[in-house]
Amino acid sequence: MREKITDKETYLNRRVFIRAATLAGTATATTLIYRRLNPRPVEPVPGEKLAAAPNSSQTEALKNGAVNKEQLTPFESITNYNNFYEFDTSKDGVASAAKGFVTKPWQVSVEGLANKPRVFDLDELLKFPLEQRVYRLRCVEGWSMVIPWIGFPLSKLLEKVEPTSQARYVAFQTLLDPQRMPNQRTGVLQWPYVEGLRLDEAMHPLTILATGLYDETLPPQDGAPIRLVVPWKYGFKSIKSVVKITLVADEPPTTWNIESPDEYGFYSNVNPNVPHPRWSQATERRIGEYGRRNTLLFNGYGEQVAHLYQGMDLVKNF
């Protein structure tokens, strides 16, 4: 199925199959694990169709670091096993809590150390040539998925605002609106959720803003309408429902680092050799599989990104 992921028919057949298997109670690994994780899966509200541009062939995506020969994680798992603390702190509670999250209208302000800072309407962002990018997502908690994102390189957006020579980092911010994101009424994290990258990480061709997954617009639970995806870093760096991107001179504060600086560093590159203080990072559980896989340095994207950290102590700069 991997080589045909851009084929909508294959995908639709697959979804029908998965649904049929779930209904029939077929004891496939996927179904069992899916059931265990999601006692009452939320039927996804069908998103609008979002086609990746025809010129974004899979060959092109592979050149850009897409995963080869690994099963895609089923749509149902990607959309029912989520971390999105603005809605719910339990992974199987996010989908229902985020159902009905209104993401129209939506704007993203790109500001700070730039010659042409400005506000972009979502419609404008959807006009960037969209590509499909199949990436591993490795959560710091020790699980992973393979997700066929639709999006565009963050660099394309940053180029439009022309970062000045003082800009060395990029800060990101999620929407702050406790009416629409009910768990922001609690103090479970400091709101809004914020993240950051070094400018060269932000400009790297693997770093994308995702506006869809499989062939649909992003479901609310996955960070609608637009979220960051940085595949070689732990999942929490991939901030959801972004409203502000700021070019800055100094390393910006980041939510999980504020929360627990000894556990979550600014870089948070996936690294099997740097254990979390409370658990090993050497292996991971791929959602839908039995057993565990070995975790790969930079989540398997070392060939593309290792040069960014040349001469840097990856243990100190965890």
Ligand X SMILES: Nc1nc2c(c(=O)[nH]1)N[C@H]1C(S)=C(S)[C@@H](COP(=O)(O)O)O[C@H]1N2
Task: Kindly list the residues in this chain that would bind ligand X in the complex (CB under 6 A).
Answer: 82-86, 137, 139, 174, 193, 222-223, 235-236, 238-241
Q: The dihedral of CA 252, 212, 28, 82: what is its sign?
A: positive
Nearest to ligand X by Cβ — which residue? 235
Strand partners for 95 = none
Choose the one of Mo ion, ligand X, none that binds residue 80, judging by a C-beta under 5 to 8 angstroms depending on kind.
none
Closer to Mo ion by CB, 152 or 236: give it: 236
Cα 46 to Cα 104: distance, rounded to the nearest angstrom? 16
Query: Smallest gap, in angstroms, from Cβ of residue 162 to ligand X?
Result: 27
Query: Smallest gap, in angstroms, from Cβ of residue 283 to ligand X?
Result: 17
Compute how many residues bind Mo ion; rule: CB under 5 A. Answer: 4
- DSSP class per residue in 267-292: S-B--TTS-BTTB--SEEEETT-SS-
Closer to Mo ion by CB, 140 or 157: give it: 140
∠ at Cα 171 (101, 99), nearest 5°? Answer: 10
Stretch of residues binding Mo ion (CB under 5 A), selected from 88-96, 190-198, 228-236, 268-276: 228-236
Instruction: Work out whether 224 is an interface residue with Mo ion (CB under 5 A).
Output: no
> What are the C-alpha distances in Å from 12 to residues 18, 75, 216?
10, 10, 12
Phi, psi of 269, rounded to the nearest 5 degrees: -70, 140
Closer to Mo ion by CB, 58 or 241: give it: 241
Selected from 44, 223, 235, 288, the binder of Mo ion by CB under 5 A is 235
Instruction: Work out whether 139 is an interface residue with Mo ion (CB under 5 A).
Output: yes
Stretch of residues binding Mo ion (CB under 5 A), selected from 2-10, 62-70, 77-85, 164-172: 77-85
Closer to Mo ion by CB, 83 or 144: give it: 83
Closer to ligand X by CB, 132 or 174: give it: 174
* Residue 49: how many other CB atoms lie within 10 Å: 10
Which phi-psi region, left, alpha or beta, contains residue 71 (left: φ > 0; alpha: ψ -120 to 50)?
beta
Cα 59 to Cα 53: distance, rounded to the nearest angstrom? 13
Query: Smallest gap, in angstroms, from Cβ of residue 115 to ligand X?
Result: 29
Closer to Mo ion by CB, 11 or 143: give it: 143
For residue 225, cis peptide bond before it (omega within 30 degrees of 0): yes
Helices 29-37 and 8-24, axial angle in degrees (round to 10): 70
Query: Smallest gap, in angstroms, from Cβ of residue 221 to ligand X?
Result: 6
Query: Smallest gap, in angstroms, from Cβ of residue 166 to ligand X?
Result: 27
Q: Where are the alpha helices (DSSP H) in the chain?
A: 8-24, 29-37, 58-63, 75-78, 94-98, 122-125, 154-161, 199-203, 255-259, 302-305
Query: Smallest gap, in angstroms, from Cβ of residue 104 to Mo ion?
Result: 27
Closer to Mo ion by CB, 58 or 269: give it: 269
Instruction: Work out whether 265 is an interface residue with Mo ion (CB under 5 A).
Output: no
- Please give the residue ranges that form the binding site for Mo ion (CB under 5 A): 83, 139, 235-236
